[in-house]
Amino acid sequence: MPFPDARAALAALADGSASPEALREIVTAFPQLRSVVAAYPAADEPLLAWLRDLRDPAVDAQLAKRTAATPPPGPVVQPTPVQPVPQPTAVHPVRQAAPVHTAPQPVVAVPAAAKPPATPTEPPAAPSEPRPRRMWPVVVGVLAALVVLGGGVGLAFAGGLLGGSTGTQAAPPPAEPTEQPSETASAQPTESPGVSEPPSQSPNVMPTPTPTTMPVGLTCWDGSAGASAADCAAPTGKDAAWEYLRFAFPSIASHATCEQVDSSKNREYSGFTVMWDCELGEALVRYRFWEKPSDAVSLYDDKYDAKTTLATYDLLVGADPVSGWVKTDKDTVKGPGGVKRVVATGWLPDHQLSFSVEGDTTDALWAAFETIRMRPADQLLGQPADQTPVEVPVLVQPA
């Protein structure tokens, strides 16, 4: 089905109506939605393999969740009951048990590491018969974008909703071959003379996952090593706080003009608070650390009361809901040249962090909002030592 824009594609992903052919159109026409497709339960293995070859951190993070959610083989697989909860809900990939093979398949397997020869601008062809699909829980970030866009607030972040690289695309794999009949499989010899390695599984069969283990440790934001998150402490001084902000918000490094600001004396704060102010031309993005979260609560309670708050949104880091909020202000602030800028503020009380965006227009505000990237909420003080650093977008949905 042709999609006129990213929002229409998001709608199909949110309601679970995207067919295998539609998924291939989405990853080709809207690269920023590839991480959503990677989490889509009905995505078939050839398409997932194509996404895996992209080496996109946001896509790989969703693929890793699918692998982690796949249980080891056993006589009975009990799916986890889905409890009805209010939106938003986290993405729960479909759990698939790997079937037990009586003999390896040495003939029609396609090695997992092989690079497919198809045209690099197109994803693999859809299977001739789509697989059965369970009801997919609403992707909170996708639904958030659709609701806000439809509500007239001017939230223009559909173009970069869930990240995903727009760079060079990996060559797609060939269409999924037909699985051999069971009679043929049973007739295959258990060993192939002259073959030094066992044959790969058929592409139609999900590989048996290796049992997951806890990472060896963490690399803290300041470069020190820790066995757990408790070993990675929050910054204790202003200079350390500025450096920590650069770790917590990787997007600071992507802005051309940013300056350090010490706003500790702007009010009677009990602790210090420092910021990075990044001017983007038609907007400004401000990243802030609070030594004492109570200082932020005092400031924002005064700033966003019933009379001055235009709208309140729940806050998501990547696709995961976190404690906190995003609010827009009825009042404006003075920008360069005396222009009156509209304002949105985000507050994460559990992490001593806030951010705000000021825009010459509402569209400029939300376009700047799209550029914000954070570490995942569970990696804001340190990342697993054996993993590549991950950054995710900040999303909102009506409270």
- My answer on whether 71 and 176 are in the same domain is yes
- My answer on whether 164 and 232 are in the same domain is no
Enclosing domain of residue 25: 6-187
In a domain, 199, yes or no: no
- My answer on whether 175 and 232 are in the same domain is no
- My answer on whether 183 and 222 are in the same domain is no
Residue with tokens 């309670």: 301
In a domain, 44, yes or no: yes
Last residue of some domain: 187, 207, 236? 187
Is beta strand 340-348 parallel, antiparallel or unpaired with respect to 320-329?
antiparallel
- My answer on whether 149 and 229 are in the same domain is no
How many structural domains are present in the chain?
Answer: 2
In a domain, 123, yes or no: yes
- My answer on whether 69 and 153 are in the same domain is yes
**Taking the chain (399 residues) in consecutive chunks of 10 residues, what is each chunk's mean pLDDT?**
80 87 89 89 91 89 81 46 46 40 42 41 66 43 44 36 39 45 42 44 44 62 86 92 96 94 92 96 96 95 92 91 94 89 96 96 94 93 87 89
Residue with tokens 């990787």: 250
- My answer on whether 232 and 362 are in the same domain is yes
In a domain, 202, yes or no: no
Q: What is the pLDDT of residue 129?
A: 54
- My answer on whether 169 and 230 are in the same domain is no
Q: Whole-structure pTM over 0.95, yes or no?
A: no
- My answer on whether 231 and 141 are in the same domain is no
Residue with tokens 């060559």: 171
* CB crowding 307-341: b at 16 or more within 10 Å, else e: eeeebebbbbbbbbbbebbbbbbeeeeebeeeeeb
In a domain, 158, yes or no: yes
In a domain, 27, yes or no: yes
Q: What is the pLDDT of residue 204?
A: 45
Last residue of some domain: 187, 210, 240? 187
- My answer on whether 93 and 237 are in the same domain is no
- My answer on whether 182 and 248 are in the same domain is no
Q: What is the pLDDT of residue 76?
A: 40
In a domain, 203, yes or no: no
> Angle, nearest 10°, between helix axes 57-69 and 45-52?
140
CA-based angle 15:369:397, to the nearest 5?
35
Last residue of some domain: 171, 187, 203? 187
- My answer on whether 267 and 181 are in the same domain is no
In a domain, 34, yes or no: yes
